[in-house]
Structure 1
């Protein structure tokens, strides 16, 4: 009779349920569990009964039942297969990892598989396999910016609190300017896409001028109020605030999430805010534009309309932007903020603990 300890039964049941169990181990675990059951007649279940239930052969049931009786849980793994002996030693793997993490090549800023292969005398494919096994990607680099704002924590709690728990009878608007939007015309006609050939544009372009988009994204509905100006000063920002005052429902407080750009903090703006007490400005930490959801909307505008657009005049690009805003507002899609302020701060703290010279 095949008897299982509580620990063995628990492990086998875990292998059956787990989605990450190696292929073949889950069916073998089912065979052993079935063989350990008692039949309706009160006797241990036969190999033929288990085979009929699981839809396999009697020989397969007998094989894994015997392997388990001889080696217990270790017997359910794959036996070593014949093949070529290992050619890369642990010392060679360690040398590749140490060189990758602790040194740089003389003639480059980072390692390539070919340059690394020449150093320890391994093949390029071997170096590539070692890097993949340890999750190393020397060819990649990501940018980051750590805020040095002394009130960083307070501002994160303030802004995230507006997203997750906005005040009653109030609107939360994410406000920012997208300045220096260039009207660019290609120096040669755009060649259209064809089967097997992507759209092609010339490298050269002609500048026709710039404009600035002031935008306010309603965090609750996703609707956008925009205003275009040729200059980017406190005077234009004040005009945009006046436009918001005219278009937003009367009787509601308005909380504006802004960055720390100088035009948002001039004496002109302070006087305007004193004259319009329903408007409240909330500033994101310096270097933390990712907290302002309107930046995500600007990315949509850039990717879908501006980057590959062809405009022969400033009026042309402004007309396209106004049309795009109107189309967006026909079916607005709000960006839903999900992380709490504490979760944001913990993520940043975990990242700082991983890097050196972070100051934290």
Structure 2
């Protein structure tokens, strides 16, 4: 049903194609999408009242964009320049801030602060902060790294990552490690609820436990065992627990780090007696490649970090409870990087830190 008081809205074939493209959300401008739909609906002969009900916009808005389209066609649907203060910071000044942040430091200091750099370049600290944010610069932050000196670094990366991305058939792959010295801490004062939660900085320690854990990379399920130590014999016994959980007929691949307990004679003797087990060792100083470390971080954040435990038994019960809850709704940690990508990244980093400036 049309609106007889307004002249008909006629579109050319090219205009209709462009408007249909905008209306189908192939543009990032949400307002332009709505405007295109308004024009198409009005060109279809629908009244402002009908279009308002369909698109849930005010009739005055429909009339305004219809009039702008008639006056300027497609160009009339674009946003008009908005009033505002003219730009005062030039591209050269932006480049100066970025270059100084990345390639220099203030005298006697290790990095720039917003206010120090703002005084140096002659602009406000807010402007410096906005430039840093736009370019992702955070000069106050530091990260640590360690390049593995393992002579078999490349071979071990390919071995472990290969198990993640293409696990062998008729086999189970476990990421295994120990989390030692989990403390049973009791705060000296009751924890006060709120956001953030408040707790006393001092505590009474009631002992520690060690946690052995094996993450099934295919299911996210975890086999765990709490002990009072993590000697070689304890690792051997944990391997026996894994053996009891895995159905007969399946090979077992265990990814673990280079702890001496993992290579002890008692462990090697057990492996020889259980030929379906194969140990795969991560490169030295490369715990990041062992997926169980990601699970340990989840456990630490959700259970021990904010827990209050008056005894080792309470801590042990809390750990077992959390692990049981995890296994009821286990989720996978998906490995995405290939071995070549990791090796290329390491080589690129080594190239950067080997330059004369370093």
TM-score by length of 1: 0.76
Distance 1:203 1:346, change over 3 A: same
Asked if structure 2 preserves the Cα contact closer than 8 Å seen for 1:259 and 1:286, the reply is: yes
Distance 1:95 1:242, change over 3 A: same
Q: Does 1:169 align with 2:170?
A: yes
Counterpart CA distance in 1 for 2:286 and 2:256 is 11
Asked if structure 2 preserves the Cα contact closer than 8 Å seen for 1:155 and 1:284, the reply is: yes
Pairwise CA distance, 1:180: 2.0
- 1:25-72: CA deviation from partner (whole Å, max 9, x where unpaired): 44555678x59xxxxxxxxxx98958759666566434334434xxx7
Asked if structure 1 preserves the Cα contact closer than 8 Å seen for 2:68 and 2:77, the reply is: no
Counterpart CA distance in 1 for 2:222 and 2:128 is 51
Q: Which 5+ residue runs of structure 2 have no aligned equivalent?
A: 1-9, 53-60
Asked if structure 1 preserves the Cα contact closer than 8 Å seen for 2:184 and 2:207, the reply is: yes
Counterpart CA distance in 2 for 1:321 and 1:24 is 52
Asked if structure 2 preserves the Cα contact closer than 8 Å seen for 1:257 and 1:281, the reply is: yes
- 1:277-317: CA deviation from partner (whole Å, max 9, x where unpaired): 12111222333323323222222221122112233444443
Counterpart CA distance in 2 for 1:319 and 1:47 is 70
Counterpart residue number, 1:290: 288
Alignment of 1:268-287 (within 5 A): 268-287=266-285
Match of 1:253 among 251, 254, 262: 251
Pairwise CA distance, 1:177: 0.7
Provide the alpha-carbon RMSD of the alignment: 3.7
Runs of 4+ with deviation above 6 angstroms: 8-11
Asked if structure 2 preserves the Cα contact closer than 8 Å seen for 1:352 and 1:358, the reply is: no
Counterpart residue number, 2:334: 337
Counterpart residue number, 1:43: none
Alignment of 1:90-169 (within 5 A): 90-106=91-107, 108-169=109-170
Counterpart residue number, 2:341: 346
Asked if structure 2 preserves the Cα contact closer than 8 Å seen for 1:219 and 1:334, the reply is: no
Question: Partner of 1:306: helix, strand, or coil?
Answer: coil
Counterpart residue number, 1:22: 29
Asked if structure 1 preserves the Cα contact closer than 8 Å seen for 2:154 and 2:343, the reply is: no
Asked if structure 2 preserves the Cα contact closer than 8 Å seen for 1:152 and 1:285, the reply is: yes
Counterpart residue number, 1:38: none
Counterpart CA distance in 2 for 1:18 and 1:311 is 55
- 1:118-152: CA deviation from partner (whole Å, max 9, x where unpaired): 21221222222222333323344445555454444
Counterpart CA distance in 2 for 1:47 and 1:200 is 63
Asked if structure 2 preserves the Cα contact closer than 8 Å seen for 1:221 and 1:334, the reply is: yes
Counterpart residue number, 1:190: 190
Q: Which 5+ residue runs of structure 1 have no aligned equivalent?
A: 36-45
Question: Partner of 1:21: helix, strand, or coil?
Answer: coil
Distance 1:139 1:12, change over 3 A: farther
Range 209-218 or range 144-153, more displaced = 144-153
